[in-house]
Amino acid sequence: MSVLTEIIAGVRIDLDARRSIRSQSQIETDATLAAPALDAYAALGGNTDPGARDAAMRVISEVKRKSPSKGELAEIGSPADLARAYAAGGASVISVLTEERRFGGSLADFDAVRAAVDIPLLRKDFTVDAYQIHEARAHGADLILLIVAALDDAQLREFLDLTHALGMNALVETHTEEEIARAVKLGSKIIGVNVRNLKTLEVDRGNFARLAENIPSDVVIVAESGVRDVADVEHYATHGADAILVGEALVKDNDPRAAIERFIDAGTAAKPARAR
């Protein structure tokens, strides 16, 4: 059994518990009452005309307490204060882990961040049911995560359509050329390339360039996993990343605001013109 399969099993148990408290119809109503979603695609530099896109590196900064590979990462006393520091540093989107068992996240963390900042938020969880998409919107999410490895094509299409119908965008996470082809075929506008092996949890940054070259120029490319320092940001930028998703390096930094500023400057300087 892969780590992904184990995580999803726990996600389903926790989801059933929440659904027993708040029904599908109730959460759908909550989603319709939420304030309109912000445009995460535009915030990440997205434009259907690649020639009109600027060369700035975008950062998705993550509120992340722990991970399956590293365990406890940082004591985050106030997710809201951390989010404010991220926003002040220039983060384009803030990601909040809401998976409880392996990442120590919660919707309470998400709500605290939503109340603190007015930039797009990614509800970072393992989406396996439409309930979670309505739930994300009900809590004010602008962007959700869809992992291609966890979904078949019918589910991915259904979840993408629902996400867009609710006014949100989806970060569609891929790990292989085949998964990228599936994501592109279904019209994904934001594709993440995660260089972490789902079976071993090892990171191979060298995979990014090989995989990213398969993504069309009108799609926002997000480099996921393995950002430790400026050199890693420059590496991803050089090979086509429009944005980076960073968690561990920021929550462990004593000055996350300054770290984000460094990452943006380094990535922007390293980005070549995209001409595929």
Annotation marks residue 197 as catalytic: no
Annotation marks residue 173 as catalytic: yes
* Catalytic-labelled residue, pool 61, 92, 188, 194: 194
* Catalytic-labelled residue, pool 135, 173, 179, 248: 173
* Catalytic-labelled residue, pool 169, 188, 207, 225: 225
CA atoms within a 13 Å half-sphere pointing along the CA-CB vector of 193: 31
* Catalytic-labelled residue, pool 61, 99, 124, 271: 124
The first and second tokens of residue 57, run together, are 């590196």
Annotation marks residue 225 as catalytic: yes
Annotation marks residue 28 as catalytic: no
Annotation marks residue 20 as catalytic: no
Residue 168's alpha-carbon distances to 16, 36, 122, 131, 144, in angstroms, are: 24, 9, 10, 15, 8
Annotation marks residue 224 as catalytic: yes
* Catalytic-labelled residue, pool 64, 66, 189, 271: 64
* Catalytic-labelled residue, pool 99, 135, 179, 224: 224
* Catalytic-labelled residue, pool 62, 99, 135, 248: 62
How many of the other CB atoms lie within 10 Å of CB of 38? Answer: 20
Tell me which residues are annotated as active site: 62, 64, 124, 173, 194, 224-225
